[in-house]
Amino acid sequence: MTSTQLPSSPLSDAPLPGEKVRGSESGRPIMALFDLLGRRWTMRILWELNQNNCTFRELQQSCGKISPTVLNQRLKDLREVALVIAVDKQGYQLTETGKSLMLHIEPMRDWAQDWADQLKHK
């Protein structure tokens, strides 16, 4: 396994580049990313961790109605794909790869606001 490959775990259904994912059998990394980010609560968890490190309880509170089971599964998936790590006594934080992803997602906020404004004036 090279340093860029991620281990595949039969116990998790985290989408991984090079594997079939929801909506695509191509194995393209972008399709794995879309699958991961499209899962319920994933973006919210990443967004919260982009602001600050959070404990499980803090994430649960900031995400509102997320169940502990779903939060556990999403954190497990995000750890498996190396976007989040668990830090003793600090809870969870983004990895450097997770921070890099959020830097790429951030400009979409401005695009989304422009889009919303265009739709209002349509």
Taking residues 12-30, report their average pLDDT. Answer: 89
Domain with residues 29-120, CATH architecture: Orthogonal Bundle (1.10)
Residue 12 confidence (pLDDT):
66
Main-chain dihedrals φ then ψ at residue 90, nearest 5 degrees: -110, -5
Main-chain dihedrals φ then ψ at residue 54, nearest 5 degrees: -140, 145
Taking residues 29-36, report their average pLDDT. Answer: 94
Does the pLDDT value for residue 1 go beyond 60? no
Place of tokens 């959070």: 54
Residue 8 confidence (pLDDT):
47
Does the pLDDT value for residue 3 go beyond 80? no
pLDDT digit string (tens) for 65-116?
Answer: 899 999 999 999 999 999 999 998 889 999 999 999 999 999 999 999 999 9
Percentage above 90 pLDDT, the chain = 79
Residue 49 confidence (pLDDT):
98
Taking residues 3-24, report their average pLDDT. Answer: 71
Does the pLDDT value for residue 10 go beyond 70? no
Residue 28 CA to residue 4 CA, distance in Å, equals 14
Taking residues 32-39, report their average pLDDT. Answer: 95
Taking residues 35-48, report their average pLDDT. Answer: 96
Q: For residue 70, what are its two tokens?
A: 């779903």
Q: Could you tell me the residue ranges of all domains in the chain?
A: 29-120
